[in-house]
């Protein structure tokens, strides 16, 4: 009996030691400066992203990962590693065939956005991307706990920066079945995004977004409602996705109006996907069936919603 009691005491002591050791370990501190390798990697990252060079992702990943390993306390570099992984996963429709190992990008994206959030918890965009990666990883592995953790982080990100993360929260839900509560919530988030961007409730029947175009800005929290250096066609991409979601929901008539709103952008003529949008307007009624059908190899180009397409990221980020 004494022997077993001694084992229990020793076990409790060791457990206590482990807890104390872990809890007193110092947190990683964010870097106060960035290395030249990181700055060089930044340049390649943006060239690759804005050029839509999907085949160049491995080269860019080598550069940003090397820069991260040189300075693992750089939140920006950590986020760029995460972004490249999430881009490769999001636009997997470009690959033929899609390899099973593409799912590893969800794991890596979650890891590096987790690092970025830990290093810069005030950056709400990182939190939104982390939440999206957690939900993607959880869905792949059928891990309901991880999906729910990601979902509640997503809600936190919306509170932190609604103008940015309401779109993120809607976009990730666009893959859900049209009749599901998550899809309906995602579509409602797109409407809410418009409301917070213009500062009032828009008329959902009329839309009438031309009234608000004078609000365009490159400063403050509402800058993400418009086009920018980071996302040269953010405005057009937003309305392409929202139109897709409305069509999928069955409201293709409102979907046509939302699609057409993208044409208000002063950059519309430079947008590489305007042909896609104009086809969407023409085929809106018939696309209700297409967007709700199971995916097949035949629907890769025009039959997939933006979130499942080869331009899932490029609709906003391609120069």
pLDDT at residue number 2 = 62
Which has the closest alpha carbon to 280: 234, 248, 316, 318?
A: 248
| pLDDT at residue 15, rounded to an integer | 62
Check whether 9 has a pLDDT greater than 90.
Answer: no
Q: Which CATH architecture has domain 34-160?
A: Alpha Horseshoe (1.25)
Tracing tokens 């050029």 back to the chain, one arrives at: 51
DSSP tag of 262: G
How far apart, in whole angstroms, are the C-alpha atoms of residue 67 and residue 36? 9
Other C-beta atoms closer than 10 Å to the C-beta of 208 total 11
Q: Where in the chain is the domain with CATH 1.25.40.10?
A: 34-160
Work out the burial of residue 317: count CB atoms within 10 Å of its CB; fewer than 13 is exposed, 13-18 middle, 19 or more buried: buried
How confident is residue 299, by pLDDT bands cut at 50, 70 and 90? very low
pLDDT on residue 28: 78
Residues 159-173: pLDDT tens digits? 999 999 999 999 999
pLDDT tens figures, 96-145: 999 999 999 999 999 999 999 999 999 999 999 999 999 999 999 999 99
Which tokens sit at 31? 């870097």
Inter-residue contact 138 to 150 (CB < 8 Å) = yes
What CA–CA distances, in Å, run from 75 to 38, 115, 117, 121? 11, 7, 8, 10
User: In terms of C-beta distances under 8 Å and separation of at least 24 residues, what long-range contacts does 21-27 make, across chains too?
Assistant: 27/118
The tokens of 207 are what?
Answer: 């839309």
Can you give the pLDDT at residue 298? 42
Kindly state the average pLDDT of the residues 247-273: 98
What is the model's pTM? 0.91
User: Can you tell me the distance from the alpha carbon of 32 to that of 269, in angstroms, rounded to the nearest whole number?
Assistant: 41
- pLDDT band at residue 8 using 50, 70 and 90 as cut-offs: low
Q: How far is CA 265 from CA 214, 239, 319, in A?
A: 11, 10, 14
Query: Exposed, middle or buried by CB within 10 Å (0-12, 13-18, 19+), for 273?
Result: buried
315 pLDDT above the threshold of 50: yes
Q: Model confidence at 304, in pLDDT bands (50, 70, 90)?
A: confident
HSE (side-chain half, CA atoms, 13 Å) at 318: 19
Residue 204: closest CA among 217, 193, 220, 214: 193
pLDDT one-digit tens code per residue, 196-250: 999 999 999 999 999 999 999 999 999 999 999 999 999 999 999 999 999 999 9
pLDDT for the residue numbered 32: 86
What CA–CA distance (Å, rounded) separates 180 from 188?
Answer: 13
45-104 pLDDT per residue, tens: 999 999 999 999 999 999 999 999 999 999 999 999 999 999 999 999 999 999 999 999
- Span between the terminal Cα atoms of the chain, in Å: 74
Q: Which pLDDT score is estimated for 178?
A: 97
Residue 155's nearest CA partner among 144, 175, 169, 176 is 169
- Give pLDDT, residue 26: 72
What is the secondary structure of 37-84 as a DSSP string? Answer: HHHHHHHHHHHHHHTT-GGGHHHHHHHHHHHHHH-TT-HHHHHHHHHH
Q: What is the pLDDT of residue 10?
A: 52
Q: Which pLDDT does position 297 carry in this prediction?
A: 46
| Percentage, residues of the chain above pLDDT 70 | 90
Report the C-alpha gap between 172 and 138 in whole angstroms.
Answer: 13
Angle at 193 between CA 93 and CA 156, to 5 degrees: 85
Residue 4: pLDDT band with limits 50, 70, 90? low
What was the pLDDT predicted at 13? Answer: 57
């Amino acid at each position: 009996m004494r022997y077993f009691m001694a084992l229990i005491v020793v076990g409790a002591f060791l457990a206590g030691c482990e807890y104390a050791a872990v809890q007193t370990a110092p947190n990683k501190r964010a870097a106060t400066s960035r290395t030249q390798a990181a700055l060089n990697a930044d340049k390649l990252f943006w060239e690759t992203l804005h050029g839509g060079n999907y085949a160049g992702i491995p080269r860019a990943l080598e550069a940003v990962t090397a820069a991260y390993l040189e300075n693992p306390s750089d939140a920006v570099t950590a986020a760029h590693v995460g972004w490249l992984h999430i881009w490769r996963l999001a636009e997997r429709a470009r690959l033929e065939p899609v390899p099973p190992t593409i799912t590893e990008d969800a794991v890596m994206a979650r890891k590096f956005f987790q690092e970025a959030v830990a290093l810069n918890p005030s950056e709400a965009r990182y939190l939104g991307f982390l939440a999206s990666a957690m939900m993607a990883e959880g869905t792949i592995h059928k891990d309901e706990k991880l999906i729910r953790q990601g979902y509640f982080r997503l809600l936190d990100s919306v509170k932190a920066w609604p103008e940015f993360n309401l779109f993120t929260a809607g976009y990730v839900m666009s893959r859900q079945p049209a009749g599901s509560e998550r899809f309906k919530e995602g579509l409602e988030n797109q409407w809410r995004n418009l409301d917070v961007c213009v500062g009032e409730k828009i008329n959902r029947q009329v839309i009438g977004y031309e009234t608000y175009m004078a609000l365009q800005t490159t400063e403050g929290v509402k800058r993400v409602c418009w086009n920018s250096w980071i996302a040269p066609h953010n405005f057009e991409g937003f309305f392409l996705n929202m139109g897709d979601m409305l069509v999928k929901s069955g409201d293709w008539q409102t979907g046509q109006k939302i699609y057409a709103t993208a044409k208000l952008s002063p950059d519309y003529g430079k947008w590489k996907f305007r042909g896609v949008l104009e086809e969407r307007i023409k085929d809106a009624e018939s696309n209700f069936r297409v967007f709700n059908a199971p995916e097949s190899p035949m629907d890769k180009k025009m039959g997939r919603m933006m979130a499942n397409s080869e331009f899932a990221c490029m609709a906003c980020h391609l120069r």
